[in-house]
Amino acid sequence: MKRINILLAVFFVIMQISAQNSQTEKSEKPLVAENMPSFGEQISSKGALDVKEMTAKYANMAVADTLKTKFTATVTDVCQAKGCWMKLQLEDGQETMVRFKDYGFFMPKDIKGKEVVVNGLAFVEEMSVADQKHYAKDGGKSATEIAKIKAVKKSFGFEADGVLLKK
């Protein structure tokens, strides 16, 4: 009988500790600046690279390379169909095309010119003419501008799992 009582006491102690840990996990807030709307996974702006540092990282990458990183940049364009991609300004007039992991979230369509922090995978790819035209159309470019796209181009891409929108 003593053994059963001891086992029950140990069981209740373990259950109590488990319940306390569960409550602690639920009450902890992610490290997100309170004044920045968040999209996708909860991220922090802490440790984000600036545009100059990110441009240097891209310059050292070859086609098909990937790099897990976080950086801050200004939005130059957003998909006007549903906010399913955005372009961010890099140094020397270059841009990076940001898509969202598993199309799990979208961005507001009116954030052009605003600063964001993106977290995820940076990569270098070659973009086909068809893809360039598709994105130009989504971006609201004119038929004349779209018709000028005739060559495959090396581009910088980014798959974001989380985005912070600075106000």
pTM: 0.69
d(CA 39, CA 65): 25
Region 139-160: what's the mean pLDDT?
92
Q: Checking DSSP bridges between strand 95-100 and strand 115-127, what pairing results, if any?
A: unpaired
DSSP state of 92: G
In Å, what is the CA distance from 75 to each residue of 142, 151, 154, 166? 20, 25, 20, 11
What would the pLDDT profile of 60-108 be if each residue is shown by its tens digit? 999 989 999 999 999 999 999 999 999 999 999 999 999 999 999 999 9
pLDDT tens digits, residue range 3-56?
Answer: 776 765 666 657 676 666 555 443 333 444 447 899 999 999 999 999 999 999
pLDDT in tens, 13-27: 576 766 665 554 433
Interatomic CA distance for residues 69 and 147, integer angstroms: 35
Average pLDDT over all residues of the chain: 86
CA distances from 152 to 111, 128, 129, 131, 141 (A): 28, 5, 5, 9, 18
Determine the Cα–Cα distance for residues 130 and 132; give it in Å rounded to an integer: 5
